[in-house]
Structure 1
Amino acid sequence: MRTITLGSTGIVTPQNAFGALPIQRVSEEAAVGLLRRAYEGGMTFFDTARAYSNSEERVGLAFEGMRGKVAIATKTQARTPEAFWKDLETSLRLLRTDYVDLYQFHCVDQCYKPGDGTGMYECMLKAKEQGKIAHIGVTAHKLEVAFECVESGLYETLQYPLSYLASDRELKLVALCEQRNVGFIAMKGLAGGLLTNARACMAFMTQFPGVLPIWGVQREEELDEWLAFMTEAPQLDEGMRAFIASERAELAGDFCRGCGYCMPCPQDIVINQCARMSLMIRRAPSKGWLGEEWQQRMNAIEDCTECYACTVRCPYELDIPQLLKKNLADYRAVLAGNVDVKGTGEE
């Protein structure tokens, strides 16, 4: 496994890191166990966020007394200086540390800069001066905002979705980060669960020497798969490139990544699953998707008023109401037996 330096931060880490969003879904004991096993297996970079409910607390429990051995990144969704300082102090307390290695503005809609009137970047500078954060980063889902952040020269890292479904424009963003010595933290390397070949996903990442993928882990078998790559990293050889090309052909066009930033829906539609149901029942098949619970949730699409509030919030500017309708029509065709979906047994 290649060791990389994360942009200008000087943080050195294997090119294989832990995304701590999913550990909020398991017990505290299981979460702490996963984090410690990840470290024992060679991972040293752990990414969490104030928005991930109890994730920070669990990271703090796992690594108390080990501060110099791991790099901890967290994030704030604050949009005012007052909320920034409240978030930072809460994060430090829960993480059981007096500083974080990387503090990131979380899912920004704009590039915060000194003198922009928000006071937000000034907060980052003051926190760094106080020694409460070591490095300043940003996460984004809107591509042009991401470009602006990198071009500003104000951020040491950018966290952005990256998988082998990336567009040419997104790959240019990766290249720009390399040129500007900005560390690229790759989230959603599995495209929100649509990609199921871990070897292919990892092999894709290894072609970029400045990219650090963070894999969301909540089960031991998932962690085992990623840790196995520490000693035998998959290669992007001719066969792997052919597989990725076939996947890209199947998933070409507009599709929902499942990020959930479109939510909540005024009609209580579970948009981040319903808008990609056609793909889920084919790529992650389970009787659960076709059961009574999800039939009811899919039928809720009929209540859509096409207010387009979801589309306004969507980082990928998808026409979500139309995407929902297409998924509902396909879903009903599958239920009626008019469309064959292989492998619909229990997972």
Structure 2
Amino acid sequence: MKTVILGKTNIEVNKNGFGALPIQRIEKKDAVYLLQKAFYNGINYFDTARWYSDSEEKMGAAFSWIRDKIIISTKTAATNADSFWNDLEMSLKNLQTDYIDIYQFHNPSFCPRPGDESGLYDAMLKAKEQGKIRFIGITNHRLAVAEEAVMSNLYDTLQFPFCYLATAADVQLVKACKEKEMGFIAMKALSGGLITDAKPAYAYLNQFDHVAPIWGIQKESELDEFISFQEKPPVLTEAMRLQIEKDRQELSGNFCRGCGYCMPCPAEIEISMCARMSLMLRRAPQEMFLSEEWQEKMKKIENCLHCNQCVDKCPYELNTPKLLEKNYEDYQTFL
């Protein structure tokens, strides 16, 4: 069973981390079952966030009795100190714990620093002094903010999208974390579902001994696959390399990563899926996406207000309304 040391924290985690965003979509009893099965099969790192509706609460129900045997990270999207303390206290309550191992700023548009106007980093330091958090982390989708966080020496961990679709700049960021002894937590290791085969995804990340992937898990079959990798980790084969190169060519350029930061949409468009529907239709079974339910969801694109809220929120600076329009036009050719 391969493990990863998260930089200078010296926290040792299983190479398989459990990303708990998807469990907000399933019943509490099913979520508790998945979380506990993961633990009993050697997974000891679980990542969640206040933003993930009831994910923290489900994790608390699963783990309150074995708190000292697992590593928990969660996140605050607070923009000021008061909201920070509200988030922290709510997270502690939901998780049924009196401390959080890694408390992370959740995709801020800037890199919080001591003494800045937000007061966020100072609040984080105070929480650490009080013993409510052990280590300070930051998550981001913006390369510039992530790079600043790494060079600042203010953070113990960085959580950033990383998979075999990574750019050269992304890979350099990963290497910089190793040089700085900063823990690197890889999110979107399956690129939000666009990578449909976990084996080459796992094999690619397995090359980086300091990278700790967190896999978004919602189904028992998904969990079972990652558990199987612990005893027999996939190794990059020539066939895998060819698949990776094919995916890189197909998914290069401006495509929606499905991060969801553009949501909610005032026209109730499910942007994080609709803006990449063309790719999903070509990379996953089509039947699901051609259902009446999805036809209705895609039709909402006709009601786009062109308010550009999604453009302003997109960390990848995509022209989201144009992307939605193109995906809708393509979608209609499948009907």
Task: Normalising by structure 1, report the TM-score.
Answer: 0.93
Name the CA distance, whole Å, in 1 between partners of 2:304 and 2:27.
Answer: 36
Equivalent residue runs for 1:282-293 within 5 Å = 282-293=282-293
TM-superposed CA distance for 1:172, in Å, is 1.3
Mapped contact 1:207–1:236 kept (Cα < 8 A):
no
Say how many residue pairs are matched: 335
TM-superposed CA distance for 1:166, in Å, is 1.1
Q: Any unmatched runs of 5+ in structure 2?
A: none
Q: Any unmatched runs of 5+ in structure 1?
A: 336-347
Partner of 2:240: 240
Name the aligned partner's letter for residue 287 of structure 1: E
Partner of 1:154: 154
Name the CA distance, whole Å, in 2 between partners of 1:299 and 1:201.
Answer: 33
Partner of 2:91: 91
Name the aligned partner's letter for residue 245 of structure 1: E
| In the alignment, structure 1 residue 18 sits paired with structure 2 residue 18 | yes
Partner of 1:253: 253
TM-superposed CA distance for 1:283, in Å, is 1.1
Equivalent residue runs for 1:163-202 within 5 Å = 163-202=163-202
Partner of 1:280: 280
Partner of 2:207: 207
TM-superposed CA distance for 1:4, in Å, is 1.4
2:265 is paired with a residue whose SS is coil
2:135 is paired with a residue whose SS is strand
Partner of 1:342: none
Task: Normalising by structure 2, report the TM-score.
Answer: 0.97
What whole-Å deviation, never above 9, does each CA across 1:164-205 have from its counterpart, x for those lacking one? 111111111111111111111111111111111011111111
Name the CA distance, whole Å, in 1 between partners of 2:29 and 2:295.
Answer: 34
Report which stretch shifted further, 67-76 or 284-293: 284-293
Q: Percent identity?
A: 54
TM-superposed CA distance for 1:75, in Å, is 0.8
Partner of 1:216: 216
Equivalent residue runs for 1:117-128 within 5 Å = 117-128=117-128
TM-superposed CA distance for 1:21, in Å, is 1.0
Report which stretch shifted further, 264-273 or 136-145: 264-273
Name the CA distance, whole Å, in 1 between partners of 2:188 and 2:91.
Answer: 23
Partner of 1:134: 134
Name the CA distance, whole Å, in 2 between partners of 1:192 and 1:179.
Answer: 28
For the aligned residue pairs, the C-alpha RMSD in angstroms reads: 1.3
Q: Which runs of 4 or more aligned residues in structure 1 lie more than 3 Å from their structure 2 counterparts after TM superposition? A: none
Name the CA distance, whole Å, in 2 between partners of 1:169 and 1:186.
Answer: 15
Name the CA distance, whole Å, in 1 between partners of 2:234 and 2:309.
Answer: 41
Name the CA distance, whole Å, in 2 between partners of 1:292 and 1:118.
Answer: 46
2:97 is paired with a residue whose SS is coil
TM-superposed CA distance for 1:313, in Å, is 0.7
Name the aligned partner's letter for residue 204 of structure 1: Y
Partner of 1:341: none
TM-superposed CA distance for 1:314, in Å, is 0.5
TM-superposed CA distance for 1:329, in Å, is 1.4
Name the CA distance, whole Å, in 2 between partners of 1:280 and 1:194.
Answer: 7
1:66 is paired with a residue whose SS is helix
